Amino acid sequence: MSDQERAAKRAQWEEINRAKAAAKQKEQGTPDSAEPRAGLTQKQFQAIRGTRDLLPPDTALWNHVEQTAHEVFGTFGFGEIRTPIIESTELFARSIGGETDVVSKEMYSFPEELDFFRQNLGTISEAMQNEGRLNRYLNLVVVFSERLKDELNANRLPQTPTNLGAFQQLADLSSEALGRWNSGKTKPDPEWEELLGRAETMVRDFDLEDKESLRPEGTAGTCRAYIEHHMQQLPQPVKLYYMGPMFRRERPQKGRYRQFYQIGAEILGGADAPAIDAELIEMLMTFFDKCGLQGTELSINSIGHSADNCRRGYSALLRSELEKVKDKLGADSQRRIETNPLRVLDSKLEHEQPIIEKLPRIADHLCDDCKTHYAVVKHELELRGVIYRENWRLVRGLDYYMRTTFEITAPGLGSQNAVCGGGRYDGLVELLGGPPTKGIGFAIGEDRLILSLEESGKGAGRQGRDVYIAWMGERAYATAIRAAKDLRNAGCSVELPPTELKFGKALERASKLGSRFALILGDSEVADGQWTLKTLADGSQQKLSEAALLEYLRNQKAGL
């Protein structure tokens, strides 16, 4: 490659980077938060939009919620599963559905750059408009093929025969194109159209699919692990729960983040007895109750199963009813009439509500088995004292979801008030290459749960230390270290200042830290063996021997 070509390529590369930055800025609506701000000489890093730091004291509430989940789920016989945060993109495309927003628009996938490249190439009809566009297109094809070479060499792209062949053809096309351009043929003409047409096919056909993505939810990974570790050979059903971060490139708002946290559970294998559905929901409500979440509302529905005498028949009926009122619906709903009429029922658009209310309801079109299943689920919930509300519009868009669906809303969350969603998905494990397996699960939005708890005043509670040790003098210091160790062993949180402070200053610090007690240790206290314990709330003081003091604080701690 000549220097001139290299320089041209570099210029193109810079142009792509500029385009990328502009696209990112457009998407985010604000300048990239990691960019230096005007007036700042040094770059100030900030958490990426849609992500946030969780800090003390708030993290205490997060820990409390997670601990409650461990305890409650444990009492229902669930074991924790930890799956990787990155999985193959294909896993999510297959389980969540390639056409859903979550997969097609919101996933963080790698290698992103090549995909971006591909999109940036546009179509050859654009390239054929004038000399400048043709030039740009050609340059992009050359750079794209160079990048493919790097990725293939580094083994970041699958070195399949198809990919290697496609790459070779693209490289040949690139040099053919350069040759043509350098011989002065710089205007769009039918020969260019033919050549670029071939290049376009190569570019589109190149298999970038073996990509990895940050998980947008936890069910797919759990089912993958169930299959991979042959868990169908364990006593069924297998009851698993998970907690951790999930990633979706959504538009951030209150209660909606790009990195958010879910706590979820799945019951895989075994039967689909309605009692399983009911017990899972009972566990969920017990968990919310133990967390102190008030004002929750549980909605349930049955979406039947994918058969002509059940959901499929209902879908067809719904579609034909929707066709009759198509003109009155918004663009999204109009599109869904064809692709997924059930999803029209999800619509929150105000003017569509009266129309939707008049549509046929799925409960009237379930097959006998599904009808019975639903009736027994409701009965089983009643046996367990779980209060529910039926919502015939609670649906799921994908075929493998069936029968029970449920959702829980909580107060204080504005429009994003769903704190948990769940349902039965008997076909999913099989769809992912496993044996036929029954399945049901839920995912709780932990961020929203915490937000709702905070809004209702169930915040983190007292965060201060139990004991602040105010020490003065060298002998007192040695005793203070020993006292700190003993108190910590007894479960107290203890602050031991690393340098000597006057007692007045030390007590000031103790109260700033929200300490309950200050243990005052001077050389005279050490010599007498009588330590002073001050209760900061009322200022009262008592003198106690070391053993008595330890005993006293231990009891206090137990009573906290």
User: What does the DSSP assignment read for 155-219?
Assistant: T-S---HHHHHHHHHHHHHHHHHHHHHHTT--S--HHHHHHHHHHHHHHHHS---S-EEE-S-SH
Candidates 35-43, 60-68, 154-162, 250-258 — which segment interacts with ligand AMP by CB under 6 A? 250-258
Q: Does the protein bind ligand AMP through residue 288 (CB under 6 A)?
A: no
How many residues touch ligand AMP under the rule CB under 6 A: the total is 16
**Sheet of 530-535, strands arranged across:** 494-495, 467-471, 517-521, 530-535, 541-545
Judged by CB under 6 A, which of 93, 140, 381, 419 binds ligand AMP? 419
Judged by CB under 6 A, which of 8, 121, 298, 443 binds ligand AMP? 443
Of 250 and 500, nearer to ligand AMP (C-beta) is 250
Q: Sort residue 437 into left (φ over 0), alpha (ψ -120 to 50) or beta.
A: beta
Minimum gap (Å) between residue 78 Cβ and ligand AMP? 18
Minimum gap (Å) between residue 254 Cβ and ligand AMP? 10
Judged by CB under 6 A, which of 163, 232, 262, 302 binds ligand AMP? 262
Of 89 and 219, nearer to ligand AMP (C-beta) is 219
One character per residue 445-464, x = contact with ligand AMP (rule: CB under 6 A) = x-xx----------------
Give the largest Cα separation in the chain, rounded. Answer: 103
Fill in the amino acid letter for 534: K
Q: Does the protein bind ligand AMP through residue 424 (CB under 6 A)?
A: no
Q: Does the protein bind ligand AMP through residue 250 (CB under 6 A)?
A: yes
Task: Please give the DSSP secondary-structure letter assigned to residue 256.
Answer: B
Candidates 134-142, 324-332, 413-421, 501-509 — which segment interacts with ligand AMP by CB under 6 A? 413-421
* C-alpha to C-alpha distance for 170 and 509, rounded to whole angstroms: 70
Judged by CB under 6 A, which of 341, 421, 434, 441 binds ligand AMP? 421
The CB-based long-range contact list for 556-559 (8 Å cut-off, 24+ gap) reads 556/466, 556/516, 556/517, 557/466, 557/490, 557/491, 557/492
Judged by CB under 6 A, which of 20, 133, 256, 393 binds ligand AMP? 256
Please give the residues from 210 up to 229 whose contact with ligand AMP meets the rule CB under 6 A: 217
Compute how many other C-beta atoms are within 10 angstroms of the C-beta atom of residue 100: 18
Which residue number is nearest to ligand AMP in terms of Cβ?
Answer: 445
Of 193 and 346, nearer to ligand AMP (C-beta) is 346
Of 171 and 418, nearer to ligand AMP (C-beta) is 418
The CB-based long-range contact list for 369-374 (8 Å cut-off, 24+ gap) reads 369/305, 370/302, 370/304, 370/305, 370/310, 370/402, 370/403, 371/302, 373/272, 373/274, 373/302, 373/403, 373/404, 374/274, 374/302, 374/403, 374/404
Of 92 and 144, nearer to ligand AMP (C-beta) is 92
Q: With helix as H, strand as E and coil as C, how does 8-74 read?
A: HHHHHHHHHHHHHHHHHHHHHCCCCCCCCCCCCCCCCCCCCCCCCCCCCCHHHHHHHHHHHHHHHHH
Candidates 32-40, 80-88, 227-235, 443-451 — which segment interacts with ligand AMP by CB under 6 A? 443-451
One character per residue 40-79, x = contact with ligand AMP (rule: CB under 6 A) = ----------------------------------------
Minimum gap (Å) between residue 260 Cβ and ligand AMP? 3
User: Applying CB under 6 A, which residues contact ligand AMP?
Assistant: 217, 248, 250, 255-257, 260, 262, 418-421, 443, 445, 447-448
